[in-house]
Amino acid sequence: MNDSSLPDHEAKTTAAAMNVPAEKTARASFGCTFALWLLAGLLVGGIVSLVIFRWQYAERIPQISPAEYYAAKERWRVNGASSYDIEVQVTGTQEARYRVEVRDGQAIAAWRNGVPLQQQRTFSTWSVPGMFGTMSRDIEVLEKHAAGRADANTPRITMRAEFDEKFGYPARYRRIQWGSPVQMIWQVTKFEVK
């Protein structure tokens, strides 16, 4: 039988018979209600925080397959420019901004953070063929894993990229090596046909 349906004198008698003071039961009920509301608030706050974190920091560069890489490389071969200026922002372990001038398919000058590079062999690293070359080594790793030819020393990587719709050059690239803090990210900030 529920104490709230009893007359006052019987409810007091029942509480007294149970040796529980009435104010102690009220306090316990309040504490339990407060704890439940606190728990619900923390849960809702945690969920909202995760949604905001995911929205803010979610990976916006799509993962690519070797087929997508080869299609973009072919698009560059067919539609690419032989003379252009390109600027690339690199972030990760070796952060820098590169600018390269390419004329008739040859990298003729390059700068790192506004300082001219001195060795001509380094000029082409941040040209479009140079970027495809960097990506090709990672594609080889993906293909080794897919074919079951990877050994214990072959790193596990994830490649994410976006290619320019018209020319096919790698507009954004992110290389993630599993189990390692090493990653490379670049984004073409300027591409101008000459």
The token pair that represents 133 in the structure block? 């070359």
| DSSP three-state, residue 158 | strand
How many whole angstroms separate alpha carbon 30 and alpha carbon 24?
10
Q: What is the mean pLDDT of residues 5-20?
A: 52
Percent of the chain scoring above 90 in pLDDT: 43
pTM of the predicted structure, to 2 decimals: 0.66
- The model's pLDDT over 30-88, given as tens digits with 9 standing for 90+, comes to 677 877 888 888 888 887 777 665 554 555 777 888 999 999 999 999 999 999 999 99
The token pair that represents 27 in the structure block? 């306090």
